[in-house]
Amino acid sequence: MRHIELNNEITQMQDGFYQLHKDKEALAVFMEEARENTVHFHSVAERIQYMLNHDYYYDVLGEYTMEEIEAVYDAAYSEKFEFQSYMAASKFYKDYALKTDDQKQYLEHYEDRVAIVSLYLGRGNAEKAKQFASMIVKQNYQPATPTFLNAGRSRRGEMVSCFLLEMDDSLNSIGFNINTAMQLSKIGGGVALNLSKLRARGEQIKGIDNAASGVVPVMKLLEDSFSYANQLGQRKGAGAVYLNIFHWDIIEFLDTKKINADEKSRIQSLSIGIIVPSKFFELAEKNEPLHVFAPYTVYKEYGKHLDDIDIDEMYDELMDNPKVKKKALDLSARDMLIKIAMIQLESGYPYLMFKSNANKEHPLKDIGTVKMSNLCTEIFQLQETSEINDYGKGDIIRRDINCNLGSLNIVNVMENKEIREAVHAGMEALTAVSDMTVIPNAPTVKKANEELHSVGLGAMNLHGYLSKNKIAYESAEAKEFVRTFFMMLNYYSIEKSMELAKEKNETFKDFDKSDYANGTYFEKYEENGYSPVTEKVIQLFEGIHIPTKEDWSQLKQQVMEHGLYNALTISAPR
């Protein structure tokens, strides 16, 4: 195809320069081809009727009049959107645009997808739908892939981005979580699982030594499960597993990603992450040996799993307790950091999740503990362990995690001076995703979503904004900008969640036990100023209201009075 040839010519040097203009040529050729291969409609009404008659769209006419639908399409098309690169256009038409059932023709242009997504998330409110369409088409706010791909379709997966599951140390729990992971992968989400409670290889089962197989065989089962369960072949299954760095099997876990690993143990498509408490860095700082523990012996001695105890406080006690099986690794804590870095260089893994820091800043610490993270290591929510029993005995279902994600584009919201508007629209859209999500085949996720309404509004294109304004990435000015911008993101997301709680007369479960309810969460914002001080960054925020200490104090009082609808609001620095 000519557009592919033109795109490939970009990297061919001419007079010492890359031929960047070839991208625009490739884009023009591709868009002409896309227009020729798109089903044409003479009006919005004709489009909607066709999509309903052929079971492509949900019953949008059950929520809106045709005039309201046309107004949302007008809002999407009024911005005169144009793709800026060949890659962007080809990505949209390949992965997002709805196609005919035979996959031979496109049924949507970008604005059409924006309009139907906005209508679906608007839930019958035409004004909200128009606001969503405006924010999305201006690229102030972008829904995550599952939402942008699935919203408004009649035959679709769910709109949730990813899920986190807690696996207990039993075959019942292993089987339950593998099935749950497959069910979640089927509907289009990435899934991460915490394996830290599993017995180490060689531990006892029913008093018999060397009976447990360890974590690696479970990883192999999960890898095959994610390969099998994808979303109608349209989106590949994606999974990750996390393990505590003090788990007995940590070396075998890491070695699954080595290039020269044995094929029986090598993990190819499953992502891996390490849960790292602060105690590990204390050992590394002192250049001390690194000991790991057999988790089942910890559970037998204390009635709590290794992953559930505060190892920062109990490490020395575990070391001194002869009933807890332990071993010194052949490498020190510092050497472990080197090993991790080497494997990261080879494979890009493991992710690192700093558990102690996450829980220190966790506003729901009196409700539950942050135990792990997701495929992108940006979600830190409380999680609980369910008890999965034999048939007939009943299970005790507790809360896992679902991630309802979307992002602001920092360049656009700063240049359009619409931070508050974009954050509020994003929070509305994400809350709609949470409220409309029903996942009956994953009861632990369903419970968490219904009780906590957690969402993760993030921000992207920071590097683009800094580059555009000639600010070095790690400079003091960059840090100052980030400090102010993400404070504002946090402020307006909490403000909107408070308004939603007031509007719905409902808060997330156990709000009264949170740091929001007692006001302690807001203290650092009342005590410290987050406004920029350097002239460069002050100019960047010119014409944009920056919340003050007084604004935070007022918001604190409103939150303490009305509560919050969402237990967590952002997937970005707090």
How is the chain split into domains, by residue range? 1-30, 37-137, 162-383, 430-455+462-562
162-383: in CATH 3.20.70.20: yes
Active site residue 177: no
Q: Is the pLDDT of residue 573 over 60?
A: no
CA nearest to 378, candidates 217, 240, 493:
240
Distance CA 494, CA 499 (A): 9
Tokens of 41: 């409609």
Q: How many CB atoms lie within 10 A of CB 254?
A: 23
- Helix and strand tally (H, E) in the chain? 25, 15
- Indicate the pLDDT class of residue 260, thresholds 50, 70 and 90: confident
Q: Is the pLDDT of residue 122 over 50?
A: yes
pLDDT digit string (tens) for 140-179? 999 999 899 999 999 988 899 899 999 999 999 999 999 9
DSSP string, 367-423: T-EE----TTS----EE---B---TTS--B----EEE-EEEEEHHHHHHHT-HHHHH
Active site residue 162: no
Distance CA 189, CA 177 (A): 15
pLDDT digit string (tens) for 526-559? 999 899 999 999 999 999 999 999 999 999 999 9
Tokens 């609808």 belong to residue: 565
Q: Is the pLDDT of residue 294 over 90?
A: yes
Q: Name the catalytic one among 70, 361, 378, 421.
A: 378
Whole-number pLDDT of residue 46: 98
Which has more confidence, 18 or 305?
Answer: 305
Q: Is the pLDDT of residue 378 over 50?
A: yes
DSSP SS3 for 234: coil
Active site residue 53: no
Q: Name the catalytic one among 140, 150, 376, 490.
A: 376
Q: Name the catalytic one among 374, 404, 449, 461.
A: 374
Whole-number pLDDT of residue 10: 80
Tokens 């993101």 belong to residue: 489
Q: What is the pTM of this model?
A: 0.93
pLDDT digit string (tens) for 199-244? 999 998 998 988 899 999 999 999 999 988 876 665 667 899 999 9
Angle between helices 419-436 and 126-137 (to 10 degrees): 120
DSSP SS3 for 18: strand
pLDDT digit string (tens) for 336-374? 999 999 999 999 999 999 999 999 999 999 999 999 999
For 348, left (φ over 0), alpha (ψ -120 to 50), or beta?
Answer: left
Whole-number pLDDT of residue 49: 98
Contact criterion met (CB below 8 Å) for 312 and 279: yes
Tokens of 256: 């699954």
Whole-number pLDDT of residue 574: 44
Which has more confidence, 15 or 29?
Answer: 29
Question: Which amino acid appears at position 401 of this protein?
Answer: I
Q: Is the pLDDT of residue 78 over 90?
A: yes
pLDDT digit string (tens) for 445-494? 999 999 999 999 999 999 999 999 999 999 999 999 999 999 999 999 99
Whole-number pLDDT of residue 235: 62
Contact criterion met (CB below 8 Å) for 493 and 569: yes
pLDDT digit string (tens) for 423-444? 999 999 999 999 999 889 999 9
How confident is the model over 374-399, as a mean pLDDT? 93
Contacts of 326 (CB under 8 A, 6+ apart): 291, 292, 293, 294, 318, 319
